[in-house]
Structure 1
Amino acid sequence: MFGYRVPAPDEAMLISGGRRGLGGAPFRVVTGHGKFVLPVFRKTRFLTLAMCESEVAETCVTRQGIALTVKAVIAFKVGNDHESIVNAGQRFLSDQDQMSILTGRIFAGHLRSIIGSMTVEEIVTERQKLATEVLETSKTEMAKIGLSVDSLQIQSIDDGDTGYIEAMSAPHKAAIQRQAQIAQAQATQASVEAQQAAARNQAEYARQTAVVQAEYSAQVDRAQAQAAQAGPLAQAHAQQEVLAAQTELALRAAELRQQQLVAEIVKPAEAEAERIRVLAVADAERMRIQAAAAASHDRVALDRMLIDQLPQIVKEAAAGLSGANVNVLNGADGLSEIAAGLVSQGLTILDSVRKNLGEDGAAASSGAVEVRRRGNGDGKVDID
């Protein structure tokens, strides 16, 4: 559209004429969008916001008085904030290439200042420290002109023909060379050892081969000798087996004869002895039973004799009471008690006599029992 202007993504559009910009700036700043600009009455210019590069090659003197040529690369751009764009526009809008030139000069001065406070050893071994200090000291000045530094890289440090840096590295070179020589010697030694080990392995392999060949030859000789002796050995083994079979046959014949003798002589004798023993035991048992029967018969006869004498015993006991002075308190019941007592006394006497006769075998076999009554006038009865 006529009069409508749009800046590129890496540009800032500066519109002059008309009212002033923010903060009293002599122009208005537009980034990221378009703006309608009146022709003739307004003027539009563009300031780059892209990354720029500046190279520095400066001869600096260290704290030790040694001149060093330092080469560095600075990456910078116009700041994204409104103030930085205004500052850069006022300084570089008409000639934007001056940004790289001025930046190089600023950093060259700071490099001389920082390197002048350091030794060669520090500069060589601590390049990042050098770059950081240069960035920190130049940050304020770069901000005043609307520029911001993204990075500073020290590319090279050269001492010219003085040879200081080379001399400084000489001990390290010597150490590296010494390590290289040691490594080479170790490699040579390892190679020689490997060759010697290979030779030993070959010799060992040859020895093992000879041993195996000798063993094979010995095995062949043994096989041939065994084959030559196979016939006689087979015949001897056959004879040995025949003898073993004959021996086994003789042993079996002896065992059979022994079994026959046992069956014909020992077993009949044992049977006869057992028969005699059984007969003897039976005869002894018969005699014992007969003796027991005879003794039982005598006992039965004795018991019958005692039973026959029981009435006479009771009678004698009652006769002993005839002269006694007995008072009957309970009438007929009292008389019954006296009669029962007499019978009980008679049975007790009978049982005592049977026990005594059982203990005395001679008295039991005779069967003589004497029962006497002895009266002493007090109503008591004694039985012998």
Structure 2
Amino acid sequence: MLFYKVPAPDQAMLISGGRRQGGAPFRVVTGHGTYVLPIFRKVKFLTLAMCEAEVSETCVTRQAIPLQVKAVIAFKVGNDPESVVNAGQRFLSDQNQMSVLTGRIFAGHLRSIIGSMTVEEIITERQKLAEAVLDTSKAEMVKIGLLVDSLQIQSIDDMGSGYIEAMSAPHKAEIRRQAQVAQAEATRASAMAEQDAERQRAEYARQTAVVQAEYKAQIDKAQAEAAQAGPLAQAQSQRQVLAAQTELAERAAELRQQQLVAEVIKPAQAEAERIKVLAQAEADRMRIQAEAAASNGRVALDRMIIDQLPQIVREAANGLQGANINVLNGADGLGQIAAGLVSQGLTILDSVKQGLGQTVEQSAPGSEVETIRIEDDPRR
């Protein structure tokens, strides 16, 4: 709009020529706009933004040691109408003068405060110095409508006197000593860490070598077992074959031995027993004949022969008692053996009778009977 004026957010609009506010020569408008009649009113704008002032001042300490001190002050016009009026009356025509005047004010207070302090206090207590300067300058800054936000001491120089250098020498030496100790500790720690790492690497290498050796031994063992498995299996098979062949040979020998016993030894034993039985029977016949001839009685002789017949058969049977006879046809075979024994007994009986008959015919009754004595066979 044509006559409507609005200040910027960081500005205060000062309107003169109209009705005054209190004792102020102009009206202050901030944060909103207003109508301004031309010709009858005049408008000026005062900055409310942050401003900066630099101070570089030569100060003398309580010890009479000159110091070059550099500081930076951050300030602005106060937000309240009174501060705006005070600053407007002083700096509205030349607002750059705010920085110049602020620097001069702080330079004076800085010289005054440093003059009451030692170099050691100034160096070690810079914040205390800044707070003291702010406190002493606050009242003056309020009078001109300015508000100080901060004061920073940038540098302190002894102007080549070497005092600060000498003062810092012990600290530097201590710092160097601490740095050397720290460096030595760091070197020692590094060496220890390196040694520990080397030990760990050596231990790892040893464990790796042990594991590799174990693996190699297992592999070699497995390979050796695999290489021996074939010959061992073959030898085992050969042993089994030899054992089977040996068993077969033993069985064949046993079978051959049984065959020899059945085919040769048993028949020979049976034949020998048969001959023995016949010889015994013949001896008994001769004995009976002799006894019959001696008694001159045929009836008695026959009776004696009949009485001896069971004994003859029994003797024949006893002769076969120890023989190992293989019976191949069961009960029929047993019957055949019994019949053979009886037949042998009858044959013996007939032989005895015939022999005795011939003897009786040769000897007349009442004649002298020749006594025949049969000696026992020494082989019996």
Using structure 2 for the length normalisation, give the TM-score: 0.54
1:103 Cα deviation after fit: 0.7
What CA distance in whole angstroms lies between the structure 1 residues aligned with 2:209 and 2:140?
Answer: 85
> Are 1:183 and 2:182 matched, yes or no?
no
Alignment of 1:84-163 (within 5 A): 84-161=83-160, 162=162, 163=165
What CA distance in whole angstroms lies between the structure 2 residues aligned with 1:69 and 1:194?
Answer: 54
SS in 2 for 1:70: strand
What CA distance in whole angstroms lies between the structure 2 residues aligned with 1:111 and 1:232?
Answer: 113
Change in CA separation of 1:54 and 1:117 when aligned onto 2, cut-off 3 Å: same
Q: Is the 8 A contact 1:92 1:98 kept in 2?
A: yes
Change in CA separation of 1:234 and 1:42 when aligned onto 2, cut-off 3 Å: same
1:138 Cα deviation after fit: 1.7
> Are 1:9 and 2:9 matched, yes or no?
yes
Alignment of 1:341-356 (within 5 A): none
1:93 Cα deviation after fit: 1.6
> Which amino acid is the alignment partner of residue 7 of structure 2?
P
> Which amino acid is the alignment partner of residue 17 of structure 1?
G
> Which amino acid is the alignment partner of residue 58 of structure 2?
T
> Are 1:209 and 2:245 matched, yes or no?
no
1:100 Cα deviation after fit: 0.2
Change in CA separation of 1:184 and 1:69 when aligned onto 2, cut-off 3 Å: farther
SS in 1 for 2:14: strand
SS in 2 for 1:24: coil
Larger CA deviation: 80-89 vs 168-177 = 168-177
What CA distance in whole angstroms lies between the structure 1 residues aligned with 2:2 and 2:138?
Answer: 42
1:234 Cα deviation after fit: 5.4
- In structure 2, runs of 5+ residues without a counterpart are 248-380
> Which amino acid is the alignment partner of residue 16 of structure 2?
S
1:59 Cα deviation after fit: 2.9
SS in 1 for 2:188: helix
SS in 1 for 2:148: strand
> Which amino acid is the alignment partner of residue 194 of structure 2?
S
> Which amino acid is the alignment partner of residue 144 of structure 1?
K
Q: Is the 8 A contact 1:13 1:30 kept in 2?
A: yes
Q: Is the 8 A contact 1:86 1:146 kept in 2?
A: yes
What CA distance in whole angstroms lies between the structure 2 residues aligned with 1:168 and 1:5?
Answer: 65
1:246-267 alpha-carbon deviations (Å, 9 max, x no partner): xxxxxxxxxxxxxxxxxxxxxx
SS in 1 for 2:22: helix
Alignment of 1:62-77 (within 5 A): 62-77=61-76
1:182-238 alpha-carbon deviations (Å, 9 max, x no partner): 213322342244235424533443344334323432443344445433345457679
Kindly tell me the number of residue pairs found equivalent between the two proteins.
241
SS in 1 for 2:95: coil
SS in 1 for 2:7: coil
Q: Is the 8 A contact 1:71 1:154 kept in 2?
A: yes
Alignment of 1:218-229 (within 5 A): 218-229=221-232
What CA distance in whole angstroms lies between the structure 2 residues aligned with 1:148 and 1:49?
Answer: 10
Aligned to 2:49: 50
Aligned to 1:167: 169
1:86 Cα deviation after fit: 1.3
Aligned to 2:201: 198
> Which amino acid is the alignment partner of residue 178 of structure 1?
V
> Which amino acid is the alignment partner of residue 195 of structure 1?
E
SS in 1 for 2:134: helix
What CA distance in whole angstroms lies between the structure 1 residues aligned with 2:99 and 2:228?
Answer: 106
What CA distance in whole angstroms lies between the structure 2 residues aligned with 1:225 and 1:6?
Answer: 109
Alignment RMSD (CA, Å): 3.3
Q: Is the 8 A contact 1:159 1:165 kept in 2?
A: no
1:121 Cα deviation after fit: 4.4
What CA distance in whole angstroms lies between the structure 2 residues aligned with 1:152 and 1:28?
Answer: 32
SS in 2 for 1:188: helix
1:102 Cα deviation after fit: 0.8
What CA distance in whole angstroms lies between the structure 1 residues aligned with 2:133 and 2:178?
Answer: 34
What CA distance in whole angstroms lies between the structure 1 residues aligned with 2:121 and 2:79?
Answer: 35
Change in CA separation of 1:16 and 1:136 when aligned onto 2, cut-off 3 Å: same
> Which amino acid is the alignment partner of residue 23 of structure 1?
G
What CA distance in whole angstroms lies between the structure 2 residues aligned with 1:226 and 1:128?
Answer: 92
Change in CA separation of 1:225 and 1:55 when aligned onto 2, cut-off 3 Å: same
SS in 1 for 2:142: helix
> Are 1:81 and 2:80 matched, yes or no?
yes
Aligned to 2:351: none
1:20-64 alpha-carbon deviations (Å, 9 max, x no partner): x23322222222333444444433322222211111222334445
1:125-146 alpha-carbon deviations (Å, 9 max, x no partner): 4433333332222211110110
- In structure 1, runs of 5+ residues without a counterpart are 244-384
